[in-house]
Amino acid sequence: MKKLILLSVLSAFVLVVFNSITYAQNDLSFVSQSIDGKTFRLPVNELNSKAVRHFNNEFSFADNEKWFKIRDGFTVKFMANDIQYRVGYNKKGNWVNTIKIYYEPEMPQSIRHLVKRAYYDYAITLIEELAIKNQVTYIIHIDNGIGFKKLLLADGEMTIMEEYSK
């Protein structure tokens, strides 16, 4: 059962990341991207007010955020305290997920302890944190100079997602 849950969380993470990746070619506050890769302005009135209210309440510390319209709703990207955030909302303005990407110094100590206890000879190079509903899942990239691994940590259980030799 746990493997099924981990697989579904991982699948959701991959879908969210690939569906919400968009690139702006300029520094507009509200932009969108069409299927052919051209960037164009997204009028403020096309944003969902419920999503904007939720974002302002939950991420009041955000500065210089950029909104993107995606197929299934909206994504907001911003940086704060050396953490890259990507917050997803559906078309109705309901919060769907939050993805944080950061490095070891910003990592929660309890998570760091779990990883270092099992992989003490590895350096933690990147952490991807995915929050969906009430569940937080971590993808932790580690490297020992000879090879690197991607670890999946969910519900206190750690598994190796990928493993490569240099």
Regarding whether 161 and 124 lie in a shared domain, the answer is yes
Regarding whether 90 and 13 lie in a shared domain, the answer is yes
Q: By C-alpha distance, which of 157, 160, 107, 98 is closest to 133? A: 98
Q: What is the reported pLDDT for 27?
A: 35
Bigger pLDDT: 149 vs 16: 149
Give pTM, 2 decimals.
0.74
Regarding whether 32 and 74 lie in a shared domain, the answer is yes
Q: Supply 156's token pair.
A: 């206190």
Q: By C-alpha distance, which of 83, 13, 96 is closest to 48? A: 96
Q: Which residues, 6+ apart, have CB-to-CB distance to 96 below 8 Å?
A: 16, 73, 88, 89, 90, 132
> How many domains does one find in the chain?
2
What digits encode the pLDDT tens for the residues 82-132? Answer: 999 999 999 999 999 999 999 999 999 999 999 999 999 999 999 999 999
What does DSSP assign to residue 94? -
Regarding whether 63 and 25 lie in a shared domain, the answer is yes
What digits encode the pLDDT tens for the residues 40-75? Answer: 345 667 778 899 899 999 999 988 888 888 888 888
Q: By C-alpha distance, which of 129, 66, 138 is closest to 101? A: 129
Regarding whether 3 and 25 lie in a shared domain, the answer is yes
Regarding whether 89 and 120 lie in a shared domain, the answer is no
Q: What is the reported pLDDT for 42?
A: 58
Domain final position from 100, 129, 157: 100
What does DSSP assign to residue 42? -
Indicate whether 163 pLDDT > 60.
Answer: yes
Query: What's the CATH number where 116 sits?
Result: 3.10.450
Regarding whether 42 and 81 lie in a shared domain, the answer is yes
What digits encode the pLDDT tens for the residues 12-39? Answer: 454 444 444 333 333 334 444 444 443 3
Look-up of token digits 């051209």: 38
Domain final position from 44, 75, 100: 100
Domain with 45, as residue range(s), is: 1-100
